Amino acid sequence: MRQDVPSEWVDRLAKGPLLEGVPKPVVAAMLEDLTERHWPRRQIVMNPRESVETFCVLLEGRVKITRQNQQTGRELTLFLLGPGDGFNVISLLDGQPHEVTAETLDPVRALCGPVAVWQQWMDQHPAFLGAVRRYVDRQIRQLGELASDLALHGTMTRLAHLILRYFEDGQRDPRRDLLRGLSHEELAHLIGTVRVVVNRLLRELREDGVVDCRDGELQVRNLHKLLEIAEGHLRKTGAGKNLE
């Protein structure tokens, strides 16, 4: 058990996606019972069996949550997680293994504890239970958007939706950094295609002056054109709120 919890950890996580709205004294008390863990880049940090044993909240770095076809090797990234995100929240709620894999995209630091302890906190702290429910709601909406994209739209439209999802109109949004420095192969996993297709699509977008890539970060140069490509299928929350 940790004796002293750095105040910056409490501040960071209390503003993060998982614990947003939970009073800081409650967050601080919870963190005292968690263990700090570190993983290098490109390491599997959780498999389906482990998802029912341990739950972690990210302090630093990014983790991707994926499903893979073992026969073809094709991979689909369901979620990109950053500081303040938790994995795997589905197993936290239902206690069942979730057939996904969590892999680090950067060196990662996280705070982890037994699933049973997190479940006890949900019983003891209504604010935490409410925060978890809101977090799950957001993930369900994101999965719904992914399913809709895969079923209804072509790859260029799906790429436009991905870029817009992490774009904040003229503001510096920490969620934008989730796409920072990702390879074209990783971007392909996010929209259900392959690297060569993403190479071609991004080249077309750059040639048309829609996006640019500098220092490993995709930058929107012509928002109007990008919105046209997205065919108006924007979320009513997040980026879409500022772009309607």
Q: Of 146, 168, 202, at which residue does a domain stop?
A: 146
Q: Is the distance from CB of 1 to CB of 33 less than 8 angstroms?
A: yes
Checking if the pLDDT of 157 tops 70, the result is yes
Q: Of 113, 146, 179, at which residue does a domain stop?
A: 146
Contacts of 238 (CB under 8 A, 6+ apart): 165
pLDDT of residue 222: 92
Residues 129 and 35 in one domain: yes
| 11 lies in some domain | yes
Residues 46 and 107 in one domain: yes
The CATH number of the domain where 140 resides is what? 2.60.120.10
Checking if the pLDDT of 171 tops 60, the result is no
Q: Is the distance from CB of 31 to CB of 9 less than 8 angstroms?
A: yes
pLDDT of residue 175: 63
Rounded to a whole number of angstroms, the distance between the first and last alpha carbons of the chain is: 48
Kindly report whether the global pTM for this prediction surpasses the value 0.85.
no
| H or E element in which residue 10 lies | helix 7-14
Domain of 217?
Answer: 153-243
Residues 93 and 212 in one domain: no
| 54 lies in some domain | yes
pLDDT of residue 99: 81
Residues 20 and 110 in one domain: yes
Give tens-digit pLDDT for 177-228.
788 889 999 999 999 999 999 999 999 999 999 999 877 678 889 999 999 9
* Cα–Cα nearest to 103, from 76, 63, 48: 63
Q: How far is CA 110 from CA 28, 35, 58, 164, in A?
A: 15, 8, 4, 28
Task: Give the total number of structural domains in the chain.
Answer: 2
The CATH number of the domain where 201 resides is what? 1.10.10.10
pLDDT of residue 174: 55
Give tens-digit pLDDT for 54-91.
999 999 999 999 988 877 878 999 999 999 999 888 88
pLDDT of residue 168: 56
| 40 lies in some domain | yes
Give tens-digit pLDDT for 115-150.
999 999 999 999 999 999 999 999 999 999 999 999
* Cα–Cα nearest to 95, from 132, 52, 135: 52
| 14 lies in some domain | yes
Residues 78 and 193 in one domain: no
In this prediction, residue 27 has a pLDDT band, given cuts at 50, 70 and 90, of: very high
| 124 lies in some domain | yes
Q: Is the distance from CB of 226 to CB of 163 less than 8 angstroms?
A: yes
* Burial degree of 49 (CB within 10 A; 0-12, 13-18, 19+): exposed
In this prediction, residue 232 has a pLDDT band, given cuts at 50, 70 and 90, of: low
The CA distance from 86 to 41, in Å, is 18
The CA distance from 97 to 214, in Å, is 40
Residues 209 and 137 in one domain: no
Q: Identify the top-confidence range among 44-53, 82-91, 234-243.
A: 82-91
Q: Of 92, 112, 146, at which residue does a domain stop?
A: 146
Kindly report the number of other CB atoms within 10 A of residue 23's CB atom: 13
